[in-house]
Amino acid sequence: MRWLRLLLVVLVGLLAFLQYRLWMGEGGSRSVAALRQQVEQQGRENAGLQQRNDALAAEVEDLKSGEAAVEERARSELGMIKPGETFYRVVESGADAAPDGAAATDPASATPATAPGAAQDDDASGPPPP
C-alpha cells in the first residue's frame, strides 16, 4: 500500500511539472501567443510594404513607358518648363508667407512690389537705379 501512495505522489508531481512546462515554460502557451502576435504584426507590416512596392513598380513602369510621367516629374520636382511657356510664381501674402517673421500688412492697403532696379513713379527723390 505504501508504494501505491508513493506512485500516486510521483504521478501528481509529474503532472504538475508537465502542466507548468505547458503553460509557463519555453515553447508553452504564453510564448506561442507572443509569437502569433509577432507574426500578425509582421504580416501587417509586410502588407504595407507590398503596397508601397506595387506603387513604386507602377511608377517605374509609367516612367519607362511614356513621356507624360517624365514631363510631370520634371515640372513638379525640377521646376522645368517647355520652350514658349510662361512661368508664373504665385506668392502668398500674409504672416505665414513672411520669411523673416515680419508682420503682414493688410492686402487692401498694400502697395504692389516692384522688381529691384525698377523705376518707381511716386518716389522721385531717391537715386536713379544703376
What pLDDT does residue 78 have? 84
- According to DSSP, residue 114 is labeled -
CA distance 111 to 29: 75
Contact between residue 103 and residue 95 where contact means Cβ atoms under 8 Å apart: yes
| Cα gap 108→111, rounded to integer Å | 8
| 63 pLDDT above the threshold of 80 | no
Look up residue 56 and give its three cell numbers: 513604386
Condensed to tens digits (0 to 9), the pLDDT of residues 4-55 reads: 889 999 999 999 988 887 777 777 778 888 899 999 999 999 999 999 999 9
Supply the pLDDT for residue 96.
62
- What is the value of pTM for the model shown? 0.39
What distance in Å separates the CA atoms of residue 125 and residue 114, rounded to the nearest whole number?
Answer: 17
